């Protein structure tokens, strides 16, 4: 009995020991399982963090290494640039010479970081002779801006530090390639809205892109049929973003106007200053000048151009260069005369006439300002309501305004208006125009200005300011429709520069 009891007790002890070991094994296995799960979740979270904040950038992009602290010069200025699939930029321009006549002269503008072929000035010294002058197409801004952004001193590959996000889509070149199709733009919107930065940040309100054409080319009511243009600006995602165009639609939209590219792309501050000194001392032998041609089938609202041309031809004080247009979507710039011929004339005139043409704005406005020529506008939508970031609010400080109705309906003499301006005021106007030259040019993307801000710098600063204001709850629009201008908005200009004798008594 005693042996049997002892055996039973021993067996129970062994069973208990086995049960304890099994429980400990199960607890250990459970703990290991939880550890593995936590480790897996940590890896996933860390991978997502790396993807979100450290996505790959092009090897050509120089990335700022600042820490975002109070002593960081880039604090509040960081920009993150998407590394888009080449389908949205590089592939668009790769085979531009195989798309028939859609591109016009754009293909030749793709060299030298989008600036086009360098201009040789060995014969008559129209330019400074020190480089920085190129045969730039007026619709090449997509490429120029992208290459400038690659050199931006506060570019970052950490989107968490960025104040704004740049989308390097070549919208203007895609327009030239497809005209009425918005297929690529729609694909871009799907791609962008699928990125974590879209929803994680501001649902696109801190995103911006460049569409280097007029806003009307991207705001079509329908893509059905052979219509020209697409509805990029009307897409829901694009309405959240800021789109930089050469001419805004002025419809409370998200499109903001920036200057047309000119022929001048300096490589240094010294190059800018030398050019400003040159045009400051230029002898002006013509009172006024006009570069352009008549336009067929233009709206009645822009037909003042024909009256301006007629007055210029009838005046001994006006020099004119007529322009012909080559076929294609990229041909709206003057094709008849060389850039040297155009700039030579603009440098010799005191005032440059800028009536609307195919649209309200003209590249010639900025070519003329680079030449130190005072612009003369005939409609508020040609500059005053457009380039609010780059031109002074006080339009009287740098330009002359003669309402189109005065020229078309009242037969106002443009020459008489300009001759009535006191010489001292002409000097002040020209000085202001020359002072504005840096803000209306795009520096060579392969170099960097040190202290002078060009059109790119101004645009980026204004985008950053807009995003900051949105974060504070402000409503930020591109401006009220031009049709809402009060009738007497620019009466001060009219009363200052319209002589009584300039209006016919018929």
Q: CATH number, domain at 488?
A: 3.40.50.2000
Domain enclosing residue 412, as ranges:
281-438+483-502
Q: Is the pTM of this model over 0.75?
A: yes
Listing DSSP states for 147-183 in one string gives HHHHT-TTEES-GGG-SEEE----HHHHHHHHTT--H
Q: What is the dihedral of CA 306, 307, 312, 314, to 10 degrees?
A: 110
Average pLDDT over residues 425-443: 98
- Do the domain assignments include residue 376? yes
The mean of the pLDDT values for the chain is 81
- Do the domain assignments include residue 303? yes
Average pLDDT over residues 407-435: 94
Q: CA 352 → CA 280, 329, 343, 368, distances in Å? A: 16, 26, 12, 7
**pLDDT at residue number 192:** 96
Q: Are 66 and 72 in contact (CB under 8 A)?
A: yes
- Do the domain assignments include residue 44? no
Q: Is the pLDDT of residue 1 over 50?
A: no
Phi, psi of 299 (to 5 degrees): -60, 155
Locus of tokens 């037909």:
303
- Do the domain assignments include residue 181? no
- Do the domain assignments include residue 363? yes
**Which tens digit of pLDDT belongs to each residue from 300-311?**
555 799 999 999
**pLDDT at residue number 492:** 36
% of the chain surpassing 70 pLDDT: 71
Average pLDDT over residues 404-422: 92
> Across the chain, how many H-helices and E-strands are there?
16, 11
Q: Is the pLDDT of residue 351 over 90?
A: yes
- Do the domain assignments include residue 243? no
User: Which residue has better confidence, 370 or 93?
Assistant: 370
**Which tens digit of pLDDT belongs to each residue from 82-107?**
999 999 999 988 877 665 555 556 77
Confidence of residue 162 (pLDDT cuts 50, 70, 90): very high
- Do the domain assignments include residue 241? no
**Which tens digit of pLDDT belongs to each residue from 95-147?**
776 655 555 567 767 889 999 999 876 656 787 656 799 999 999 999 999 99
**Which tens digit of pLDDT belongs to each residue from 29-69?**
555 566 666 655 554 454 444 444 444 444 335 565 566 66
Q: Are 314 and 290 in contact (CB under 8 A)?
A: no
- Do the domain assignments include residue 305? yes
Long-range contacts of 113-119 (CB under 8 A, 24+ apart): 113/143, 113/144, 113/147, 113/444, 113/445, 113/446, 114/140, 114/141, 114/142, 114/143, 114/144, 114/146, 114/147, 114/445, 115/140, 115/144, 115/265, 115/444, 115/445, 116/140, 119/263, 119/339, 119/340
Total domains in the chain come to 1
**pLDDT at residue number 60:** 39
């Amino acid at each position: 009995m005693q042996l049997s009891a002892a055996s039973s007790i021993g067996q129970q002890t062994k069973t208990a020991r086995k049960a304890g070991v099994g429980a400990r094994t199960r607890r250990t296995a459970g703990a290991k399982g939880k550890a593995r799960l936590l480790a897996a979740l940590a890896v996933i979270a860390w991978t997502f963090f790396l993807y979100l904040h450290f996505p790959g950038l092009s090897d050509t992009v120089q990335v700022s290494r600042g820490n975002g602290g109070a002593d960081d010069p880039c604090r509040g200025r960081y920009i993150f640039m998407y590394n888009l699939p080449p389908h949205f930029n590089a592939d668009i321009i790769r085979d531009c010479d195989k798309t028939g006549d859609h591109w016009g002269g754009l293909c030749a503008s793709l060299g030298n970081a989008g600036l086009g072929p360098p201009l040789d000035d060995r014969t008559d010294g129209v330019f400074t002779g020190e480089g920085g002058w190129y045969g730039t197409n007026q619709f090449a801004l997509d490429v120029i801006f992208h290459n400038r952004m690659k050199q931006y001193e506060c570019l970052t590959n950490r989107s968490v530090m960025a104040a704004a996000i740049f989308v390097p889509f070549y919208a203007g070149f895609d327009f030239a390639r497809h005209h009425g199709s918005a297929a690529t733009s729609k694909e871009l919107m799907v791609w962008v809205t699928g990125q974590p930065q879209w929803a994680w940040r501001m649902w696109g309100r801190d995103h911006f892109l460049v569409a280097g054409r007029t806003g009307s080319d991207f705001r079509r009511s329908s893509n059905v049929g052979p219509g020209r243009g697409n509805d990029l600006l009307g897409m829901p995602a694009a309405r959240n973003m800021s789109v930089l165009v050469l001419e805004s639609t002025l419809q409370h939209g998200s499109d903001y106007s920036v200057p047309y590219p000119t022929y001048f792309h300096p490589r240094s501050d010294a190059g800018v200053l030398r050019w400003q000194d040159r045009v400051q001392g230029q002898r002006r032998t013509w009172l006024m000048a006009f570069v352009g041609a008549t336009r067929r089938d233009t709206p009645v609202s822009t037909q003042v151009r024909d009256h301006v041309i007629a007055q210029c031809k009838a005046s001994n004080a006006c020099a004119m260069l007529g322009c012909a247009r080559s076929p294609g979507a990229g041909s709206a710039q003057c094709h008849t005369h060389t850039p040297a011929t155009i700039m030579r004339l603009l440098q010799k005139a005191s005032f440059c006439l800028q009536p609307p043409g195919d649209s309200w704005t003209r590249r010639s406005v900025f070519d003329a300002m680079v030449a130190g020529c005072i612009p003369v506008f005939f409609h508020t939508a040609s500059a005053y309501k457009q380039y609010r970031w780059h031109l002074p609010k006080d339009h009287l400080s740098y330009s002359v305004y003669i309402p189109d109705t005065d020229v078309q309906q009242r037969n106002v003499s443009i020459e008489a208006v300009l001759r009535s301006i006191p010489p001292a005021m002409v000097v002040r106007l020209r000085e202001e125009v020359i002072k504005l030259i840096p803000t209306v040019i795009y520096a060579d993307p392969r170099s960097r200005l040190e202290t002078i801000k060009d059109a790119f710098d101004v645009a980026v600063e204004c985008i950053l300011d807009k995003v900051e204001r949105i974060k504070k709850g402000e409503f930020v629009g591109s401006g009220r429709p031009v049709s809402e201008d009060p009738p007497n908005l620019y009466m001060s200009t009219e009363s200052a520069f319209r002589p009584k004798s300039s209006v016919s008594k018929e």
